[in-house]
Amino acid sequence: MPLDTIQDDFESGLKPLWMRAQSGDDTAYAQALHRIAHRLRGYFRRRMHSQPDDVEDLVQETLLALHVQRGTYDPTLPVSAWVLAIARHKLVDLWRRRGRRDNLHDALDDVDEALLVAMPNDGSAQRDLDKLLHELPAAQRQAILLTKVEGLSVAEASQRTGASESAIKVQVHRGLKRLALLVKVGGAA
Amino acid sequence: MKTDALIEMLARGAGPAPRAVAARRLALAAGLGLLLSALLALTLIGPIPTTMYATPVPWMKFAYAGSLALAAGWLTARLARPIARLETPRRSVVAVIGAMVALGTLALIATPSSERMTALLGHSWLSCPWNVLAFSLPALAASLWAVRGMAPTRPHAAGFAAGLFAGTVGAMGYALSCPEQSAAFVAVWYTLGIGLTGALGALLGPRVLRW
């Protein structure tokens, strides 16, 4: 089964990176997310013929969801299955919001992944996350900009703002969680 | 923002993934829910006589609600994840309910046949399930909040499990005010109240468990 081989390749390449990421290796985490983004792009492209412009937005929305929900990954299960369960949820959610009920009758899982050929994409989304960042409450935005964009450590960000280190961590987590809600493609916003 | 930039942003200083997310959130929900449900039961109905605590009656109720809370909480924690193995927690829920039903049946068999109906219906069979449901509402809101903050992909099932979990919390609170003595009564009417809370959770699930 070529399908199984390809899925196993994805899983076996991803799992060690992911496990290192879960225990705090940020470099491995970035590598894992790049692999996942590539995979998601193919997954969504196959299922969104009629909305190709939304693919990259949904990739970003799913990556954000994966990040804020990384605590729900159970290490006894395949990472790829966890990733695709979230991707599938995001896709169905998009269709529901768009009222594309007919799409729900398409088989979601009967797609030959071997046919997925990644088309060139520079990773540009329609929706701009930078703009959405500015819709966050000030404390959350600042915590994210300092630690995630400027690259300060939590201790440095704490010194800069006068907030405690645990407060910074909480603001970053809450901010990303809120961002994950704000990014819903075609949402009410 | 391009996807590569987003990935760099997410990974930068990400640190280790949070641990035991479900356990922490559900424990908080149960704690809050239990506090409110006990408060409601004690103020609206009033406490059972303290002499009852010298009998096994309230402890049987706490033990049943407590062990079902563990089993239903386990199931809820699993259903709050995008994918999960459900067989074992599901079987534990059935096993706890089955054990209580067996205990109730034994109690009925041990009761003289002329008193069986009285034991089974007590004097509050009509209100008991509704009281359990009502005293479960704070725990239900808290449990649905707890699950909503995670990543449930089966909202009906996750809502049902969260409802069962909340129902056990409400049953614990109600047991502080419920004078019924028979195990058969608990096996039927408490279980029905917990089941009603589960049904309400299943109904609310698709509406509130969006993420």
Contacts of B2 in chain A (CB under 8 A): 122-125
Interchain proximity A30–B11, CB inside 8 Å? yes
**In this prediction, what percent of chain A has a pLDDT beyond 90?**
55
Mean pLDDT of A67-96: 94
Interchain proximity A93–B10, CB inside 8 Å? no
- Of B192, B41, B63, the residue nearest B128 (C-alpha): B192
pLDDT of A99: 76
Interchain proximity A72–B14, CB inside 8 Å? no
pLDDT of A131: 85
- β-bridge partners, A124: B2
For chain A, the distance separating the N- and C-terminal CA atoms, rounded to the nearest angstrom, is 44
Joined together, the tokens standing for residue B209 give 């468990």
CB–CB of B90/B198 below 8 Å?
no
Q: Helix %, strand %, coil % for chain B, to 5? A: 75, 0, 25
Contacts of A18 in chain B (CB under 8 A): none
Q: Residue A30 is nearest to which of B7, B21, B150, comparing CB atoms?
A: B7
pLDDT of A116: 53
pLDDT of A67: 96
Q: Where are the alpha helices (DSSP H) in A102-164?
A: 129-133, 138-144, 154-161
CA R_g for chain A: 18
Chain center to CA of A186: 17
**How many residues does the structure list for chain B?**
211
**Residue B89 φ/ψ region, left for φ over 0, alpha for ψ in the -120 to 50 degree band, beta for the rest:** alpha
Cβ-Cβ contacts under 8 Å between A and B: the total is 113
Q: Give me the amino acid identity at B125.
A: W
pLDDT at A148 over 60: yes
Q: Return d(Cα B200, Cα A143) in angstroms, integer.
A: 39
Cβ atoms within 10 Å of A108's Cβ, excluding its own: 15
**Exposure string for B54-76, b = 16+ CB within 10 A, e = fewer:** eeebbebbeebbebbbebbbbbb
CB–CB of B160/B198 below 8 Å?
yes
Q: Return d(Cα A43, Cα A26) in angstroms, integer.
A: 25
| Confidence category of residue A121, pLDDT binned at 50, 70, 90 | low
Interchain proximity B13–A148, CB inside 8 Å? yes
Question: Which of the 8 DSSP states describes residue B48?
Answer: P
- Compare all CA atoms of chain B with the CA of A57 and give the residue at the minimum distance: B3
Mean pLDDT of A162-177: 91
- Compare all CA atoms of chain A with the CA of B18 and give the residue at the minimum distance: A71
| Confidence category of residue A189, pLDDT binned at 50, 70, 90 | very low
Interchain proximity B84–A77, CB inside 8 Å? yes
Joined together, the tokens standing for residue A118 give 């990644």
Interchain proximity B2–A176, CB inside 8 Å? no
* Predicted structure pTM score: 0.87
User: What is the torsional sign of CA B173, B69, A66, A151?
Assistant: positive
